[in-house]
Chain A
């Protein structure tokens, strides 16, 4: 018989404690968590950055990751984008009664793996079991605390002439989730780009490059990040369409369904604005990470159309890159 999560395991009693020690302590244990006090006590020296995010995803296990990996990457990446090294995370999980225990264990294992990549710890946690139908499988919230290693990285700091760099090919997560959810059969599978970004950020900074802005291109994709930047910094960003790194599988999906790769979500892809003289060095660092071979300079910050993102085609025409809206729906005509 497959073991499943029961309501009793969320009630704070015996079964609940068994779940916590058998699963969460076993994989995520460390000296702070295991003290099992009412709150974690943390010692910090540097300025700290803090962020929180909740995660639901369907399917829970997708090509290239799962909700566990996502819940660590998502929060740690937000810290990394401020130039902060992820240190401490809280971990709250809501599980639907009847969820397979084996699946939960798999999720916790991928959390452990991803924490190690970031060098971060879970210092506080919570588990709730909800009656069947109250949620769709599982939902995770993580809050992260990170130590700032540089200051001044901000969406408001773009400067005229900055080179806009993207860390790898875009649109993978969105395309993978879409294909997985809709059961679209593809000849070559698209794996999500789901990954932790701190190691890359750390190395970029270690190489003497302090970006003016960094943002991971999650929901809304590249288009959302760039539009946010032009708003916040009151500049124009001009992008060369031909230089956008897009893998064949993703452009195939876009072609079939009428999507724009720039509007598809990513989970391990970020955009940097760096001084033009640092662009080459930034690319070199990024490309040294496996999977990021397609890192590219895609455009520059100008003052031509304030607060707008402009796409320049290879035949000399221009159009605005719009902020994606609403739910992704295929075009019919």
Chain B
């Protein structure tokens, strides 16, 4: 069984380019510089994780890549083109939690972006089925979100992000609300899905272990104003395994990230 028979042909993975981006929030009392001259290049098919102290602008940066917010200065390019408004054909987004519509079933939630574009019902259903199968939720399509566990809800969100086969998948702390065990499983699941689809992934997390475990590359940001202070390549082989967590390579990378974060906090 082809994992995405109805979604294929898979689009090639996309490139993300952030060029000298700045973001200033003007509030009634003061101007807040959230991002200051951030440049970042994500090659197609890479798994890049953004980490940094709370409030350093990770979500803001992700929102720009999703076309949900426009930068004050600089440019954000997806596959070489700017993204002035959200475009689910180019970028899929998965949020922290509870962004599923509670009055729709799992499959209706996954179909939502397709329904917005007037895709015929049969095609929608078929694509949603495929996406749910891909995230391991075959047979749960008729359930409502409140009938699903936290991990299952996040799987539905991922399916919804992938249903239009976007070349880039953005994830803002998608597992932050899950317990540690579920979180570990979901990490493995995500890596499996990523391997099956070959998407470019930009992933935000507060967990250093999660960052190193998942990433090809970890991008470390400083406290406000957000700047990129370090980029680490994680050379651990794939598939990643639980044993690697206790290895020296893993520990060394995690320590290096932690020192950056402690310095700027």
A and B bound? no
